[in-house]
Amino acid sequence: MISGHGGNIYELAHRIGCRPSDISDMSANVNPLGPMPELIDYLRANMSAIAALPEVDAGGIVKAFSRFYGIDPRHVMAGNGTTQLIYLIPRALGAKKALVVGPTYSDYRDACAMNQVPCDHLICREKDDFVPDMETIRKGAATADLVFLCNPNNPTGTLVKRPDIDALCRSLPDTVFVVDESYLPFAPMPADATMIGSDLPNVMVLNSMSKAFRIPGLRIGFVKTPEPLMQGLTPFALPWSVNSLAQAAVQWLMDRPEPVDRFLSSTRSILETEKTRIEEYIHQRTRIRCFPTATSFILMRLPDGLDAPTVWRHMADNRILIRDCSNFTGLSDAFIRISLKTEKENHRATELLVQLFRDHVKMGTIHEF
Ligand SMILES: Cc1ncc(COP(=O)(O)O)c(C=O)c1O
């Protein structure tokens, strides 16, 4: 649904009286390097594409995407971001009961609510760093016909290994598993973790172009789904749901596997360096806890006496937008999420966090150690 997301730089800009572009948006989990400059040049040169209707079923980019991943195009559908597909799935499958493995992205729950599908949450334990326990999921999923599993997960950053997901899906053949891999390109060795090549009949994989290529404004995502489930989705496909510029962008990206691979590899290596640096910096100076993450954002637990709205306000006053995680089912106002940006922006954000921590120690609202 409309509320419950990060990334509202417009509202913050209005509130503090600056331009949206003056804000460092560390609430939206998009590639700190992207978009690829050559892609922007290409789109600029092809703006005239908007003068014609796009391909009605986005068939050309479905083929290009399938070639890129070595999968059958008959098993792929494009959408106006994965968001359109997330909201489509519970309705198109006629799901009776869903399970959401959390704490996680709220749209799975909202998509179920919008389609009157009862939905339970299975909340992973903080003491396990929110790493899902597959046996607990298996038991919880036994009464559901639809399970949402975000991998790597937003906002916890946990990554479940492919063999574990595979075994889970095999153990419950009558349950449909939707594996959301929107953040997988940021994880180490994504090719080893993806379920996109799986031929299991009960697995759907979501793939977003928004995060990895930093083109969330274009709105493009895909679902890879086996034949019997695709038959359920097809009658609900909307005409022209991927616009002309978005189709041009996907075609350009998917036709360039080598530069794309280099771009994503350098993204991963920068993220690794930045994650280590930030975690060490915060760990040495504060009692803010950074959870291990396989992706481009870090979930943090604040010490007692410091809450997420306070940190959010402090950062916002300094034109940095972070994610207050209070409204994630299974989290509380003790959690924030910071999405990594350039080294300079990351450094400034972590300095501000440390400063706020020290101010609160001085005020006596939190203990130093
Ligand atoms: C886990 C996850 N999946 C899907 C989406 C939706 O992405 P899009 O509709 O841009 O593909 C988001 C957006 O934040 C997300 O965090």
User: What are the residue ranges spanned by the domains of the chain?
Assistant: 9-35+259-357, 48-257
Question: 11 CA distance to ligand 1 centroid (A)?
Answer: 20
Nearest CA to ligand 1 atom 15: 105
Task: Give the C-alpha separation, 142 to 128, whole Å.
Answer: 22
The pLDDT value recorded for residue 2 is 55
- Report pLDDT digits (tens) over 29-75: 999 998 999 999 999 999 999 999 999 999 999 999 999 999 999 99
The pLDDT value recorded for residue 9 is 86
Question: 150 CA distance to ligand 1 centroid (A)?
Answer: 10
Question: 88 CA distance to ligand 1 centroid (A)?
Answer: 14
- Report pLDDT digits (tens) over 287-340: 999 999 999 999 999 999 999 999 999 999 999 999 999 999 999 999 999 999
The pLDDT value recorded for residue 269 is 97
The pLDDT value recorded for residue 368 is 74
Report which of residues 3 and 264 the model is more confident about: 264
Strands across the sheet with 289-290, in order?
Answer: 289-290, 297-301, 335-339, 323-324
Out of 208, 214, 295, mutate this one to test ligand 1's pocket (max ligand atoms within 8 Å of CB): namely 208
Reported as a pLDDT band with limits 50, 70 and 90, residue 17 is confident
Start-to-end C-alpha separation, the chain: 41
Instruction: Provide residues with CB under 6 Å of ligand 1.
Output: 81-83, 105, 150, 154, 180, 182, 208, 210, 216, 221
The pLDDT value recorded for residue 367 is 82
- Report pLDDT digits (tens) over 239-248: 999 999 999 9
CATH number of this structure's domain 9-35+259-357, picked from the four choices 3.40.50.300, 3.40.50.10470, 3.30.1490.20, 3.90.1150.10: 3.90.1150.10
DSSP states of 283-315 as a string?
HHH-SPEEPP-SSSEEEEEPPTT--HHHHHHHH
Task: Give the C-alpha separation, 250 to 71, whole Å.
Answer: 16
Residues 289 and 301: beta-carbon distance below 8 Å: yes
The pLDDT value recorded for residue 6 is 61
Protein fold of 48-257: Aspartate Aminotransferase; domain 2 (3.40.640)
- Report pLDDT digits (tens) over 230-240: 999 999 999 99
**Using CA of residue 86, residue 226, residue 156, residue 346, what is the dihedral sign?**
negative
Is residue 7 predicted with pLDDT exceeding 80? Answer: no
Ligand 1 nearest atom to the CA of residue 150, by list position? 1
Question: 277 CA distance to ligand 1 centroid (A)?
Answer: 27
Is residue 275 predicted with pLDDT exceeding 70? Answer: yes
The pLDDT value recorded for residue 11 is 87
- Report pLDDT digits (tens) over 151-185: 999 999 999 999 999 999 999 999 999 999 999 99
The pLDDT value recorded for residue 258 is 97
Q: Out of 10-24, 88-102, 218-232, 311-325, pick the least confident.
A: 10-24
Is residue 133 predicted with pLDDT exceeding 70? Answer: yes
For 199-204, what is the mean pLDDT?
97
3-class DSSP state for residue 346? helix
Question: 303 CA distance to ligand 1 centroid (A)?
Answer: 29
Task: Give the C-alpha separation, 134 to 139, whole Å.
Answer: 9
